[in-house]
Structure 1
Amino acid sequence: MSHESHEPNLLYTDTEDALRDAVRSLLTDRAGHQDVLDRIETGDPYPAGLWPALAAGIGAAGLLVPEKLGGQGASHREAAVVLEELGRAVTPAPYLTAAVIATETLLALTATDGPATAHIATDGPATAHPVTEGPAAALLAELAAGERTAVLAVPLTTAPRTGFTATGPVRAVADAVAADVFLVPRPTGLYAVPAAEATVTPTTPLDLTRPLATVDASGAAGTLLAGPEAARTAVRRGLLAGAGLLASEQLGLAEWCLEETVRHTKERFQFNRPVGSFQALKHRMAHLWLDLVGARAAARAAADALAAGAADAELTVAVAQAYCSGVAVRAAEECVQLHGGIGMTWEHPAHLALKRAKADQLALGSTGHHQDVLADLMDLPAPA
């Protein structure tokens, strides 16, 4: 794939809008905010039947997978739309971890252009001439069909540049309890380990809609998917795609927070006037809207760069994460505060958005980490 200069396209296509409508309709029927609130109290936040309907019914699990490997042959742009909707509803679903990070990691192992030696910033989607045989390709086909759910066994906080190698139990693995196979990066390479052969110990996360667990696969042999060098490159590629598309989840979350806040302040009256008519609140919501405009541009640019395999994809992802994570937190905080008393209660979904936003600030690299990456890529040394 060519990695020459790429002109970004930040607009949504008709296909992307149709996909958005389908995902939003599914989430409205099966995973509304009240459904999520009810389920997190049970300790199992995943709505029954939602993941099969999203992964296989709509075909969202295979968006990044080439048609030759049984997928939809779409791109990161379409996957970003799905994540926007999942962010809006703060949906408990292993889409980011399974359909993006794990899938993109496996895609790096099916490319014929030598992913083991390609630089992370120039790795494009492995869609041109995928290898259709071997354990990685076989597992990809199962993931794309929604028959299996794979999770990369690394801490949720792992950033693309840092990578990770498991030498024992791995803490804070997101969506581990929903996986039936783990991709385990070891010093000797990347292995596929059935979840039944690993020990999964759930932990209590801040964000109850994205469960965390400690995964110990040290006693399982697993199936070797790639050697050490190819494994490192594949894991970095998976994490880079995850970080770039996490910005779309953060965008969707922030958009819902603003929309819900505007709705509430129109309906809430004080002194015989809607509170949204008070100038101080107008200014706060207007500033938040401006933040969202920037976040939308950054998130769309990251998804588009990943889809095109642009040479500046790593740079664009760093910009998106350095900006969008803060916007999501500010939007969620304003949502809680401008709802007044009801916003502070367990019964209102605002706390779900705030906890997801705060957890996302650390996921796949902190804001500070991505700012450092951005400075390094732009050759901007820190002040002495």
Structure 2
Amino acid sequence: MAPVAERDQLREVVRDLLRKDAGHEQVRASADSAVGYSEDLWRRLNAELEIGRLAVPEAVGGHGFGIADLAVVLEECGAALLPEPVLGSAVLGCQALAAADQPAGIGDLLEPALAGELVVAVSQGGAELTAERTSDGWLVRGRRERVPHGAAADLVVVDAATPEGSALFVLRTDDLEVAARTTIDPTRRQADLAADAAPARCVVGPERAPRALERLRTLTALAVAAEHAGIVGELLRSTVEYVEQREQFGRAIGSFQAVKHRLADVLVDQERARSAARYAALAYDADPAAAALPATIAAAVCGDAAMRTAHEAVQLHGGIGFTWEHHAHYYVRRVLGDEGLFGSSRAQRARVADLVGV
């Protein structure tokens, strides 16, 4: 948990890039574009920072760093509220493909995904998909709803039931029926995907699939927690900046005791969120199989912290904070959208109870 110079340097590099190319107005414009994100910034994130390769083993084309390093990127992306598919593709998608039983067998998909040339969506759980083997390969049938970046993705990784058990498959979205959804969060678009005998390639077979799916679930929890920790930090920074400038009765409102107490509570939330998220990432690097508990705790702690901080930011920005156009409200939308997509803090705490046998 001690500071690591290389991670601090990585944070500054990511922050400098996003400060120039991912201000609030740029994020809004990107989120409102046809694909829902800036394709130019996505290319730069992959060309200059190689985010997809960062935590992928060197043996399959990555750089071999840990999830703790990738979590630094996620914190900064959460702080900037990036609409680019960093979480879905560069983290979950690339990790899912890299975990293949035979990575060389999907090399034509893995390498472009690591380079950001193919966008990968991941859908785990939900309505059951079924897969059957034919003489020409695998065919997948079924429907998945609310897939993050489903409409903009080139590939989607799903779990599907086979006669031997669940397995992980990758499908091309060109072979699926894709229906974009209207959601509260414009910075993380969703789509419904339907497969009617869609050709698929098996990534992880039934023998290894349970462990791979559990690791993917754990990685999702800690990755979202890292984004939420970044959101808390950014909202605290911007709100403090505002209350130091906004005046009432001839004084900056930040000098009022009531405002100070509310911001002190947000600072406590920031420290709790950062500690929980960073510990979960380090635990995953140490032993992914044992990281489910700290990752789920981090998801609960960071989800609560992000929700409280987003609401405080709106309140402390006064009348302007209540408008949908204000940046604080965009963070409210993201946190509410994530709660629906990845589970509420209540659901995460229920999972903690299951994990510890309560």
- Provide the TM-score with structure 1 as the length reference: 0.84
**1:187 aligns to 2:157 (yes or no):** no
Q: How does 1:37-56 map to 2 (within 5 A)?
A: 37-42=28-33, 44-56=35-47
Note closer, same or farther for the CA distance 1:164–1:317 as it changes in structure 2 (3 Å cut).
farther
Query: Match of 1:67?
Result: 58
Q: 1:139 to 1:43 in 2, by over 3 A?
A: closer
Residues 362-377 of structure 1 aligned to structure 2 (within 5 Å): 362-377=340-355
Is it true that 1:285 corresponds to 2:274 in the alignment? Answer: no
Structure 1: runs of 5+ lacking an equivalent: 1-9, 111-130
Displacement after TM superposition at 1:134 (Å) = 2.0
Query: Map of 1:332-343 to 2, 5 A cutoff?
Result: 332-343=310-321
Aligned equivalents of 1:190 and 1:378: distance in 2? 27
Contact 1:104 1:241 in 2 (8 A): no
SS in 1 for 2:184: coil
Give the corresponding residue for 1:150: 120
Query: Cα deviations across residues 111-160 of structure 1 (Å, max 9, x unaligned)?
Result: xxxxxxxxxxxxxxxxxxxx65222x5533332222322112347xx6xx
Aligned twin of 1:220: 198
Counterparts of 2:316 and 2:302 in 1: how far apart (Å)? 21
C-alpha separation in 2, matches of 1:289 and 1:94: 29
Structure 1 residue 38, shift from structure 2 partner:
3.0
Distance 1:319 1:231 in 2: 24
Within-5 A mapping of 1:163-312 = 165=129, 167-188=141-162, 189-309=167-287, 312=290
What CA distance in whole angstroms lies between the structure 2 residues aligned with 1:40 and 1:227? 36
Which sits farther off after the overlay, 290-299 or 232-241? Answer: 232-241
Deviation at 1:311, TM superposition (A): 5.4
CA deviation profile, 1:242-280 (whole Å, cap 9, x unmatched):
111211100000111111110000000011100000000
Structure-2 separation of matches of 1:107 and 1:70: 9
Contact kept in structure 2, 1:37 and 1:349, CA below 8 Å: no
Aligned to 1:94: 85
Cα distance between partner residues in 2 of 1:318 and 1:153 = 18
Letter in 2 for 1:190: L
Aligned CA-pair RMSD: 2.0
**How far off is 1:41 after superposition?**
4.0
Structure 1: how far apart are the matches of 2:31 and 2:324? 11
Q: Aligned pair 1:25/2:16, yes or no?
A: yes
Alpha-carbon spacing, 1:305–1:337, altered in 2? closer, same or farther (3 Å)? same
- In terms of mean alpha carbon deviation, does 205-214 or 61-70 score higher? 61-70
Deviating more after overlay: 299-308 vs 52-61? 52-61
Measured after TM superposition, the shift of residue 363 of structure 1 is 3.2
> Structure 1 349/109 Cα, relative in aligned 2: closer, same or farther at 3 Å?
same
SS in 2 for 1:362: helix
The AA in structure 2 aligned to 1:56 is A
Q: TM-score normalised to the size of structure 2?
A: 0.90
Helix, strand or coil: the match of 2:39? Answer: coil
Q: Contact between 1:173 and 1:213, CA under 8 Å: does it hold in 2? A: yes
Cα deviations by residue, 1:288-326 (Å, 9 ceiling, x for unpaired): 101111111100111111111155311101110111101
Aligned-residue offset at 1:164: 5.9
Alignment of 1:77-156 (within 5 A): 77-110=68-101, 133-135=104-106, 138-154=108-124
Tell me the alpha carbon deviations over residues 76-109 of structure 1, each in whole angstroms, 9 at most, x when there is no partner.
0111011101110111011111122222223333
> Does the 8 Å CA contact 1:266/1:275 hold for their aligned counterparts?
yes
Q: Tell me the CA shift for residue 46 of structure 1.
A: 0.3
Asked if 2 retains the 8 angstrom alpha-carbon contact of 1:153 and 1:215, the reply is no
- Any unmatched runs of 5+ in structure 2? 131-140
1:4-31 Cα shifts (integer Å, max 9, x gaps): xxxxxx2341211121122112222222
**1:65–1:73 CA contact under 8 A, matched in 2:** yes
Deviations 1:196-228 (A, max 9, x none): 111211101111100000011333112222333
Instruction: Check 1:61–1:285 CA distance in 2 against 1; reply closer, same or farther (3 A cut).
Output: same
1:156-202: per-residue Cα shift (whole Å, max 9, x none)?
xx6xxxx9646512110001123111113221232221121112111
Q: Residues of 2 paired with 1:205 and 1:212: CA distance? A: 7
Ranges of 4+ aligned residues in structure 1 off by more than 6 Å: none
C-alpha distance 206-287 of structure 1, shift in aligned 2 (>3 A): same
The structure carrying a bigger strand percent of its residues is 2
- Is contact 2:169-2:200 (8 Å) kept? yes
Q: Which amino acid aligns with 2:161?
A: P
Where does residue 313 of structure 1 map in the other structure?
291
Distance 1:68 1:310, change over 3 A: closer
Residue 34 (structure 1) aligned with residue 34 (structure 2): no
Identity %: 37
Give the Cα separation in 1 of the matches to 2:103 and 2:181: 37
Structure 2 contact 149–190 (Cα < 8 Å) conserved: yes
